[in-house]
A and B are shown apart, each in its own frame.
Chain A
Amino acid sequence: MLGPNGAGKTTTVEIMEGITPATRGTVHYRGEPMGPRFRSEVGIQFQSTALQDFLTVRETLHLFRNFYPCGMPLEELAKLCALEDYLDRDARKLSGGQRQRLLLALALVNDPKVLFLDEPTTGLDPQARHNFWDLARAIKARGKTVILTTHYMEEAYLLCDRIIIMDRGRIIAEGKPASLMAHHFQDAILQLPHEDFRPARDALTEKVMNVGEYVEIFTADINATIELLLSHQVSLAHLQIRARTLEDLFLELTGRELRA
């Protein structure tokens, strides 16, 4: 579930989790309105969660494990979430990445059928984020349904089989990443430095945008555009060609203006 800040991702997910009551409608789980078994069969990782002070990682896992009638053995859980080396460490002394892995382990402690992850990599450094993605893939490989909210396009593109883009509380696009891209974009982007592009500035009919030190030319026919540029003595020494990304789609659908 992708969306800009304030789009309503967390509210929607918390309604689905049964944490926030819905003002209208009902949430169904496995064909029925949410019942007592829902809590036992789902795992939830909130955007921000404090843990009980003065407990080690092992004690925190034990605490949560005891809330459920059955679940994953702690050794297996620690291995899956790469926590084996930190089991006896005070949970307050974990790094950002280690802490997110512990929160993930708590969400998995009951071996859930459905896992909710609400912006799990926000605030992590790139290395920790990549490690977390590996974990998410490992969990997916176990056949679990993962509902992920994020505003990192790359994360959504790499991890998700199905994407929902929402804004202002409404779904504005949904589908598989590739089909979403194919549906919205038939063009690619050529990037050139302003200086190099200048001779052809008035000759192009394609959409052109200034992005920092570069111009971006949106074209459905790369060959024809390059020929046109060459005919105007444009140097292609610094030309870059890139495919449209999910971020382009996101910005196209939600706009570029700053929101409060």
Chain B
Amino acid sequence: MIRRFLAVLHARNLEFIRDRSALGWNIILPVLIVLGMWFLFSGGQKPLFTVAVFSGNTPFTGLHEAFLQTRYIHFYSIDNLPAAIRKVGHDQIDMVLDLHRRAKLRYWVNESSPKGYILEKLLNGEKGTRYTRASVSGRAIRYVDWLVPGVLGMNMMFSCLFGVGYVIVRYRKNGFLKRLNATPLKAIEFIAAQVASRLILIMLITVAVYIGTDLLVGFYMSGSYLALLLTAVLGAASMISLGLLIAARVASEELAGGLLNLLSWPMMLLSGVWFSLAGTYPWLRHAAQILPLTQLLEAARAVMLDGAGVVQILPHLLALAAMSFGFLALGALSFKWKND
């Protein structure tokens, strides 16, 4: 069994490596996207200052604070003060105000943030109220830092879904699967070899693109590389298995292309590749949790931006592992070797 699995794995690896155009495209595309985004966003400025307000159970809109009336500042209410302070550290928001206890009004700004400096001046210019300064420091997180996991994840998604899906449908259409079916090779051996081959190649390419992009752009990574690797492996395995499930029975490349697009577009839009879904409908955020790319990106960003370890991202890892197993089992059970 292992011998047959290894034979298919080796042959598939050779095919992928020798297909120069596909290989080149897999490497060049994400680098181009990251570079493009870097040029577009590295100098970009947000039109508004963003200030998070912690006011306990009382809505801050009812408070008569002059600062809260300042125009061109976006104030929003928060429940979790430590999480907001962390965001100040990462420059994701510009200031946190703690209005919970009137006797001890506090604010947090990032020492290295120009916006924090201006907001502080504005705040202290108001008459009457005295705030205690509690500054935080941290490396500012640029949009490109937030974008890199999204783009790498998106590239993995396309490579996983289309790389495996199209290949299997093509093999079925041209009769190669039928020929394999005339040998003692079993469906699970063939499928497992396809997953393993794609997984190895995607991980090699992703690691190379990660290192290359880091050298070019220099993005933020505060967590454990082991946790990130584990996230990437399980994320890729789940999406390859999903591609395989789609390709398990389909005989036409057109239909496979349509179905794969039907899967990839929602993931592109709803998994948080380009922008955060934090401000959208709660039901949409919940629905997006069933997409493997959402789980992958949330775990990867938690590791890279917030420094999370394996324990903190365990729910995401378990979800990805369950998806991988489920898709693979369904794919193997419904696998068809030949056209009807």
Does A59 touch B at the CB level, under 8 Å? yes
Does A29 touch B at the CB level, under 8 Å? no
Q: Is the CB of B4 within 8 A of A67?
A: yes
Q: Is the CB of B182 within 8 A of A46?
A: yes
Does B92 touch A at the CB level, under 8 Å? no
Does B221 touch A at the CB level, under 8 Å? no
Q: Is the CB of B184 within 8 A of A68?
A: yes
Does B174 touch A at the CB level, under 8 Å? yes
- A52-B15, A54-B18, A59-B11 known; A64 and B183 CB under 8 Å? yes
What's the nearest-Cβ distance from chain A to residue B188, in Å?
A: 14
> CA A40 – CA B183 in complex, angstroms?
7
Q: Is the CB of B184 within 8 A of A67?
A: yes
Does A50 touch B at the CB level, under 8 Å? yes
- A50-B175, A54-B18, A66-B4 known; A19 and B181 CB under 8 Å? yes
- Restricting to B150-201, which residues have a CB under 8 Å from any CB of A? 171, 174-176, 178-185
Name the prevailing secondary structure of the B interface residues: helix
Query: Which of chain B's residues has its CB closest to A42's CB?
Result: B182
What's the nearest-Cβ distance from chain A to residue B252, in Å?
A: 16
Q: Is the CB of B7 within 8 A of A66?
A: yes
> CA A25 – CA B234 in complex, angstroms?
46
What chain A residues lie within 8 Å of B179 (beta carbons)?
44, 46, 49-51, 106
Q: Is the CB of B184 within 8 A of A52?
A: no
> CA A54 – CA B176 in complex, angstroms?
14
Q: Is the CB of A49 within 8 A of B7?
A: no
Q: Is the CB of A48 within 8 A of B175?
A: yes
What's the nearest-Cβ distance from chain B to residue A106, in Å?
A: 8
Q: Is the CB of B185 within 8 A of A67?
A: yes
What's the nearest-Cβ distance from chain A to residue B186, in Å?
A: 10
Query: Which of chain B's residues has its CB closest to A67's CB?
Result: B183
- Restricting to A27-69, which residues have a CB under 8 Å from any CB of B? 36, 39-40, 44, 46, 48-55, 59, 62-64, 66-68
Does A17 touch B at the CB level, under 8 Å? yes
What's the nearest-Cβ distance from chain A to residue B337, in Å?
A: 8
> CA A166 – CA B243 in complex, angstroms?
43
Q: Is the CB of A67 within 8 A of B181?
A: no
What chain B residues lie within 8 Å of A39 (beta carbons)?
182-184
> CA A229 – CA B190 in complex, angstroms?
70
- Restricting to B15-52, which residues have a CB under 8 Å from any CB of A? 15, 18-19
What chain A residues lie within 8 Å of B7 (beta carbons)?
62-63, 66-67
Residues of B within 8 A of A (CB): 3-4, 6-8, 10-12, 14-15, 18-19, 171, 174-176, 178-185, 338
16 examples of A-B residue contacts, CB within 8 angstroms: A19-B182, A36-B184, A40-B184, A46-B175, A49-B178, A52-B171, A54-B14, A54-B19, A55-B11, A59-B11, A62-B7, A64-B183, A66-B3, A66-B7, A67-B183, A67-B184
